[in-house]
Chains A and B, each alone.
Chain A
């Protein structure tokens, strides 16, 4: 079946521009997570969605970062006024949220490069 789909796969943009990253989770998965993979930083949690609500935004690094989810499905991560330190691979994961220990299924990520 289809896995988690992310677009674009690569994005190069100039410092100061806004970017939107998209995640299409596995159909029926109610929980959706965004992570960031930076060189030397490993994978860091950004935000968690349960349905359309985001009960945990604690990982968003600044108010330039925001995310939304509509229809309990597609999610968009928006970075405003991008900075060079935003360069990273942004990963989306989804899972059933019906019990503890459910593994998260990851997309291929969006590689974001800020010039």
Chain B
């Protein structure tokens, strides 16, 4: 069974600071990796995904994530955060599969940006 760990539960940064949120997963097979974001009062939205190819993936709003297979990690980064990035961020994984692609989520990281 898959599992996902997000070690940072709550991160507080000032605007323009750099961000890195950790995500580690455990699974023996080929996986797809995702970061979802939930802005206050809104539904979960896809930020970026990795399923093959270049391990450095770029998403919306200047976010990027790097898949490091040897470390089972998929950390999320942004060089300069904005107040509007305040949200909850979820890392998720599913087994690369045609059909049932149920997601296993981490417990989430709440990001608070101070203006």
**Cβ of B101 and Cβ of A106 under 8 Å apart?**
no
> Assuming A43-B90, A103-B34, A103-B49, is B43 touching A97 (CB within 8 A)?
no
Among B14-22, B61-69, B72-80, B104-112, the one that faces the other chain is B104-112
Give complex CA distance A93, B102 in Å.
10
In the assembled complex, A50 has its CB within 8 A of some CB on chain B = yes
- The interface on chain B, measured as residues whose beta carbon lies within 8 A of the other chain's beta carbons, has a size of 26
Which residues from A are CB-within-8-Å of B40?
A: none
Which residues from chain A contact B46 at a C-beta distance below 8 Å? 103-105
> A90 an interface residue at 8 Å Cβ cutoff?
no
A25 CB-CB contact with B under 8 Å: no
Q: Does B43 contact A106, Cβ atoms closer than 8 Å?
A: yes
**Cα distance A67–B108 when bound, in Å?**
26
